Amino acid sequence: MTSPVYYVDGRFVPADQATLPLGDLAIMRGYGIFDFLRTYRRVPFKLREHVLRLYSSAEQIGLAMPWSVGEVEAIVHETNDRNGYDDAAIRIVVTGGPSPDLMMPGQQPRLAVMAEPISTPPERQYAQGVGVTTTRMARILPTVKSLNYLGAILAVVEARKIGAVEAIYRTPDDHVTEGTRSNLFIFRGGKLLTPESGILPGITRQVVLEVAAREYPVVLTDLTYADLLGADEVFITSTTKEIVPVVKVDGQVVGGGRPGECTQDLMERFKAYVDRCLTEAVA
């Protein structure tokens, strides 16, 4: 397979020749942000929402964004077109750029856009559900999609050791907020519940809330670890996962140990929503 083409700091280059200077604040200090979206049959899904979240992340960490929304979107489209994958994973990265003392941000952030064929979870995860763990790690600035996934990586490495696919952040007062790369939902008594704050506002989460609101009462509220263990159904959402049912938390069976009916209903509704978006995009 030929190497993907990336956009880096003003140029399109083969992925294996895409580089950043070592002095960039993203490399030296983890000062930078990104966003991550996918295409369905070559059409970027919720591109505007992802780009706006990128700007929100930048603003929250005081990172300059010298490009317009339209320019960023055009670069995403061109990267997508040059690669031509049916279903692509697209990463938009903004790094802190050069800094004279390797600490204070300058005004020359760097923009990169990467595209790869998307890798989605195996079918059995949707059919049988997955296990997750919980972690006492915390994300700093949880509403920012920053390049720092240090705690996330440590937590997921631990989770994989016991066959779990994701780790859920658990606060000192025993609230569960979101996964390292996903948002968290439960069904309880026919209602859909998900945390409102202290999380990354997931784009998949937003779509799920939209499709669910037509069918179920939706409650945005803090969730405790006990809520999670006692839930009728649990699932996680993300761009690559869409909706994945959760059947085990820290090795304990939840939700009867199999994907719940309401979760499966939402999985169908999510797919139908994507199909409608694609039909509208080509119409």
- What DSSP character marks residue 146? B
Contacts of 221 (CB under 8 A, 6+ apart): 193, 194, 195, 196
Site string for ligand PDD, 123-162 (x = CB under 6 A): ----------------------------------------
Which amino acid, residue 102? L
Q: How far is the CB of 49 from ligand PDD (least distance, A)?
A: 8
57: nearest Cα among 202, 242, 167: 202
Task: State yes or no: residue 200 binds ligand PDD (CB under 6 A).
Answer: yes
Q: What token pair was written down for 276?
A: 């409608």
Supply the minimum distance, in Å, between the C-beta of residue 189 and ligand PDD.
25
Shortest distance in whole angstroms from residue 135 CB to ligand PDD: 12
- Sites for ligand PDD among residues 97-126 (CB under 6 A): none
Closest CA relative to residue 26, chosen from 90, 89, 91, 102: 102
Catalytic residue list: 145
Residue ranges in 16-55 that form contacts with ligand PDD under rule CB under 6 A: 36
Cβ-based nearer residue to ligand PDD, 206 or 264: 206
Q: How many CB atoms lie within 10 A of CB 12?
A: 15
Q: Tell the smallest beta-carbon distance from residue 214 to ligand PDD (Å).
A: 20
Smallest separation, CB 2 to ligand PDD (Å): 24
Which of 205, 231, 254, 266 is the binder for ligand PDD (CB under 6 A)? 205
Which is nearer to ligand PDD, 194 or 239 (by Cβ)? 239
Query: Taking CB under 6 A as the criterion, which residues in 219-278 touch ligand PDD?
Result: 237-240
Nearer residue to ligand PDD within complex by CB, 95 or 182: 182
Closest CA to 28 of 103, 108, 133: 103
What is the Cα–Cα distance from 214 to 210, expressed in whole angstroms?
Answer: 7
Nearer to ligand PDD, 133 or 239 (CB): 239
CB 12, CB 5: distance < 8 Å: yes
Please give the DSSP secondary-structure letter assigned to residue 256. Answer: G
**Bridge pairing between strands 223-224 and 175-179:** antiparallel
> With respect to ligand PDD, which residue has the nearer C-beta, 50 or 110?
50
User: Pick from 132, 159, 203, 267: which binds ligand PDD (CB under 6 A)?
Assistant: 203
The backbone torsions φ and ψ at residue 176, rounded to the nearest 5 degrees and listed phi first, read -110, 135
